[in-house]
Structures are given as C-alpha cells and as structure tokens.
Amino acid sequence: MKLSRLIAMAFAGAALTVGAATQPVVAADNPYERGPAPTNSSIEATRGPYAVSSKTISSFSARGFGGGTIYYPTSTADGTFGVIAVSPGYTAAQSTISWLGPRIASQGFVVITIDTNSRFDQPGSRGTQLLAALDQTIADTTVRSRIDASRQAVIGHSMGGGGTLEAAKTRRSLEATIGLTPWNLDKSWPEVEAASLEIGAQNDTVAPPGSHAIPFYNSLTNAERRSYLELRGASHFAPNTSNTTIAKYSIAWLKRYVDNDTRYEQFISPGPSPSLTNGISDYRIN
C-alpha cells in the first residue's frame, strides 16, 4: 500500500480514537509538511521559499537515461524532501521542460529534469527512463541525504506525459504523476494507483484532449485520486515555456500527494472554475 494511503488511514484512526479532552489530528502533525502555509501568490510565484542549487548529470554518467540536471533546496534545515523526475516530449530536449526544475524545487522538492536516450523514444521507454532518473538521483552523493526515497513522483510532456503513466504502472509505489498535454496510444490505465493529474490544452492538435488526456483521466479508476485540467486556448507546446497555471496546479498536486500536505487541498477541490480570465477551459476531479 502506498505511503500516503497509510498515513491517511493512520490520521483517520487517530481522529476516531481521541478522547473528549484530546484534539483530533491536524495537518501540522504531518512529518512531510514543508514550507509556510500556501497562498495563491506563493504557488503562482516563479520561486518558492527555498533557495535552490543544481547539479548536472552528464550523458556519460547517466545510467538508463540521457543525462539531466538535479535541482534541490540548498538548506537541509527542514529535513528530507520528496523526489520528482521530469521528461520532455517527442523529439524534444531537456531544455524544453527545464523551467519546471527550479520552480518546483524551490517549493521543497528534489527535482531532476532529463534528456532521453533518443529524442524519438516512445512513452514506454520514457517511463523506464523516468524511473532510472529517480533511482540515480536518490543514490547521488550530493543530494541523497536530502531525499526521502519513499516519496517519488514523475512529470512529463507529450510522450513524456504518456511515460508518466507507464512509470506508475511499473512502480506502484509512486505517489503522484502529472501529464502535460500527454500522448500515448494506450488509453486505459486502471493499473495506476498514483494520484494522477492530466493537463490538456484546448487547441492541442498533436495530442487532442478528447483522444488522450481525457480518456486517460476517465480510465484512472484505481488511482488514489485523479484530476483533469484544460488550458484555455493553448496548444500542445504550452508546457515548453514558463506557465503559471501549469506550475500552480502541479505544485499543489505534488504538495498534496507527495508531501501529504492537506493545506494544498484548497487549490484542488473543488478546484478552479473555468473562465475566460483564469486561462482554464475545463476542470474535473473525482
């Protein structure tokens, strides 16, 4: 059983057994909670509360993927952090998703953005490479003392987004997945247990949401939780440049399911109401 589910069960049990003079368990009892209480401004900011350092993993030293960059909180004062791997899409390089590395790391995560072995690698291969990148980051001498290896997640764009589901199907212990305009020929993912957020783009002609992200969302029937967010007026390549909507809801999702931090539930449920002004055309959550 995944760590987050065990914690939730423990919290529920504690709340049920408290006596009349005892306060129920609250979010502050969560040992993985990191950083100050969130606000819209704090998770929309280009940088969070943690200063970030980086380390390059060359293609020669990478084991099972094409190289990458590790971004990590410089301070160790708050203990360990969850670890996240991020894959680019078909024919794309790490540079197309590198903006996510420091942005997410500054909120209290260790993040590796990767190059793939070949720019033509399919989702299955990208899923395997995401897991290889997680494993190498966890073992890395610079950051391993900062990482809680029990809390892992994956993010990917396009075929990398399809690869996140492949990774979660293989490694059932993953806490969360986020697919950014995801693409995969397989449309059904009942095997995935990780909390999964699929972010589609309204004007995507490469991976139209109706034939990719939405069927993925609908099929995630055994996921701890699933959500679908659609970027209004956006194309398939929206994740390739800094995007506040993508960052905001990705951070909220990772905080909620990698850190088990219920302070971020306010951004997930009931979630944003689609409007012309907030850049969102659809939002669903089970």
Q: Which amino acid is at 38?
A: P
CA distance 188 to 192: 10
CA distance 262 to 29: 11
* 264 inside domain: yes
Q: Containing domain of residue 66, as a range?
A: 53-285
**Catalytic status, residue 212:** no
Q: Is omega for the bond preceding 239 within 30 degrees of 0, making it cis? A: no
Instruction: Give the global pTM.
Output: 0.91
Tens of pLDDT, residue by residue over 129-148, are 999 999 999 999 999 999 99
Kindly give the pairing relationship between strand 280-285 and strand 226-231.
antiparallel
* 1 inside domain: no
Question: Could you tell me which residues come within 8 angstroms of residue 31 by beta carbon, excluding any fewer than 6 positions away?
Answer: none
Query: Which residues on neighbouring strands pair with residue 73, listed in sequence order?
Result: 52
Q: Which amino acid is at 207?
A: A
* 18 inside domain: no
Which of 98, 140, 196, 236 is the catalytic position?
236
Tens of pLDDT, residue by residue over 20-78, are 333 333 445 799 999 999 999 999 999 999 999 999 999 999 999 999 999 999 999 99
Q: What is the pLDDT of residue 105?
A: 98
* 253 inside domain: yes
What is the number of structural domains in the chain?
1
Which of 115, 148, 204, 259 is the catalytic position?
204
Tens of pLDDT, residue by residue over 179-204, are 999 999 999 999 999 999 999 999 99
* Structure token digits, residue 265: 């539930």
Q: 112 and 82 in contact (C-beta within 8 Å)? A: no
Give the mean pLDDT of the chain: 92
**Catalytic status, residue 236:** yes
Which of 106, 158, 227, 250 is the catalytic position?
158
* 28 inside domain: no
* 7 inside domain: no
Residue 43 phi/psi, 5-degree rounding, is -95, -5
Q: Which amino acid is at 259?
A: D
**Catalytic status, residue 250:** no
* Structure token digits, residue 150: 């029990």
**Could you tell me the CATH number of the domain that includes residue 255?**
3.40.50.1820
